[in-house]
Structure 1
């Protein structure tokens, strides 16, 4: 038993060592799994087991929805939908001080939800909004900080890939319930960021947008409605049982193509780029899932997750303390690991703890999603932070100082979601898609 547990410890130690030296995550997972496995079984046997687990891990019909939603997001990224959503966001921002910053937050939330990518959202919104805000006298570091902080909100609001991966890892938690559960947490994060942006804008005296005429407002709303209806059609269809999540993702592709054709914003030369980006992203994710499935088998065989879970459970009898431990762990993990591999590695370890203290799987899915999404805007490997700084024409060092203020509402939203289950469970229960 001691040697089996030792193999699990070697697995994690070697994995983090390889990550430290810059080895790609999928390769790090595969190598550490193979070496740790050789401590448990002969080389020829462990090679067969790893290969079988790799194939089994990606042999899931549900994972097709991840690829389809990625393709739909790529189509919308290229299809000129962002500008219509920005115009709609300007209308919602109204006459608030620093209204362009609020427009950025709302635009990130809407476009991120449609595209399913915080990186695409931050890049697209930053390119459009940064010049406008600079022209109005906004501090570029403030503009970049607002853009970076608000981008993860779209990752939490469906449809996005994180709930799909979590559903597979958690043994089939309802994707429909996970999708609907993301609305209130995502909106809460966006609202708290807007409150912070309002306070800063008020102190700095940033400009208020000019009032929009009724006819202009009506045109903006009519232009935005077709794009916003995508969420209604897809999520509504999944929650009402009209189609599965995979079928809903295929519907999203069809809807996005029709919408871009109506807008005349999609050209034939864009199609190869869209397909290439989708294949690259899907290939990376599937490689990670396959490698992580093999790692999960080794971990399960070594019983290390059970030992870690029991060790954490022995730290305290209070669910409040144990949730705080998991929250802090997710924030720490998010600072040096991307969402997908972090989900794949830590869901099997933390989910049993959550279930033991009575946390609903859907609620825990939101805790995982939100905690790891925050990692995309924190150094040293925050991909959204890097993209947001680049499109805002500022350095990481310059944007970090104003961004520290925006970490406050983001963390407050995360803690609220972690400790108030209703924020995650009320809407799915209301829609009748929450498994008891």
Structure 2
């Protein structure tokens, strides 16, 4: 009865059109008020939700992405990748995807990746013969690598919510991220050959290549500093995020690309994006308290285990649930609502906790490019100027391949757990 009351009020609030965070609070209040729980619990849990050092990484990595967007760091990155891949069939598409992958390793933000790389690559893709539809779809798909390839805001949120090491999750996301990026490049190659897209008729001399590599060094230092520091155990993800903001800010000031106006733009975007995410996390903390108090996860888990025979069937069911939810709801609230319920069931079936955590994050991330509410689709519309329908048609082949790749990661756990086991031991 309690479960029907809580989840029913959550569903009604969302159907009415309330923002996700407020819908979660309404569902929590339904239980609190109906059971005469002191309202001070609501305030305590809201504050506790934001009181986490780990969550500091979210606004800082977001800020890094916007700083790169406002400076030449992203342009130099694209020039570097272009000089390496510029004469291969479908090279401009590969440059787009590889640039998105590297940019993702610096910021962890899907929309920021779409905005920064899309603004640079859209004209180049068009000049290479790519249709605007395919170009927009490719940019949106490449941007989805942002929350998959570490650092990832989704993994930070999951780690903080479920008590899992964020550093281990980052390492667990490396192989799936590179695997998905490689498969997106393969899709681009097939499309390029089928449609006859040619590589640009440009030949880079040795001096030009060295010049572009030299100019890209300020950008290439960032992933070494961030990922090397985290994986080497030198800094925590939050400390690495601080370093990335300081580095990008110093670069922007030194090159005079950061003016008071652009600094205000960066801070404004960062605050708006991060405040939304953190408010959802605070609301979910209250909802998590309700779930733990009512023992709903245990009840639901017991019901699931009585119906599903083994972990492979459960994995398939979990993937279907996450794909569907990813189409309808943003990733972070999906993680915060579903993980406390579904992850313990997976652990009972003998699934690895790290495998489940990374799988949760990367599967829901496919929702970034899935109609009707994929955030990267809307960012691509504003960045490329294409219509929503056009972007959706362009993204379809890439979306299907991403779903296949994530499914492979689900049924081959070693793709996620191998690297963390190698670095930390089993």
Normalised to the residue count of structure 2, the TM-score between the two structures is: 0.95
User: Does the CA contact (< 8 Å) of 1:159 and 1:231 recur in 2?
Assistant: no
Deviation at 1:10, TM superposition (A): 1.6
2:376 is aligned, of 380, 384, 391, to 384
1:266 is aligned, of 241, 249, 258, to 258
Whether 1:133 and 2:125 are equivalent positions in the alignment is yes
* Separation in 1, partners of 2:193, 2:59: 43
1:95 aligns with 87
Whether 1:294 and 2:286 are equivalent positions in the alignment is yes
2:26 is aligned, of 20, 23, 31, to 31
How do residues 186-225 of structure 1 correspond to structure 2 at under 5 angstroms? 186-209=177-200, 210-225=202-217
Aligned-partner SS, 1:155: coil
2:168 aligns with 177
* Separation in 1, partners of 2:422, 2:298: 34
1:112 is aligned, of 101, 104, 129, to 104
Deviation at 1:207, TM superposition (A): 1.1
* Separation in 1, partners of 2:217, 2:306: 52
Pair 271,394 (structure 1): closer, same or farther in 2 beyond 3 Å: closer
Deviation at 1:131, TM superposition (A): 1.9
1:3 aligns with none
1:331 is aligned, of 298, 323, 327, to 323
For the aligned residues, what is the CA RMSD?
1.7
1:402 is aligned, of 388, 394, 400, to 394
* Separation in 1, partners of 2:218, 2:270: 23
* Separation in 2, partners of 1:410, 1:140: 21
Aligned-partner SS, 2:329: coil
* Separation in 2, partners of 1:254, 1:46: 43
* Separation in 1, partners of 2:333, 2:411: 25
> Structure 2 stretches of 5 or more lacking a match?
none
Pair 313,88 (structure 1): closer, same or farther in 2 beyond 3 Å: farther
Runs ≥4 residues deviating over 6 A: none
User: Does the CA contact (< 8 Å) of 1:227 and 1:259 recur in 2?
Assistant: no
Whether 1:252 and 2:232 are equivalent positions in the alignment is no
User: Does the CA contact (< 8 Å) of 2:128 and 2:199 recur in 1?
Assistant: no
User: Number of paired residues?
Assistant: 425
> Structure 1 stretches of 5 or more lacking a match?
1-5
Deviation at 1:190, TM superposition (A): 1.0
* Separation in 2, partners of 1:308, 1:339: 22
Deviations 1:371-419 (A, max 9, x none): 1111011111111012213323322222323322222211121012112
* Separation in 2, partners of 1:390, 1:371: 25
User: Does the CA contact (< 8 Å) of 1:77 and 1:115 recur in 2?
Assistant: no
User: Does the CA contact (< 8 Å) of 1:145 and 1:402 recur in 2?
Assistant: yes
Q: Which stretch shows the higher mean deviation, 68-77 or 199-208?
A: 68-77
* Separation in 1, partners of 2:318, 2:91: 36
* Separation in 1, partners of 2:352, 2:62: 28
1:18 aligns with 13
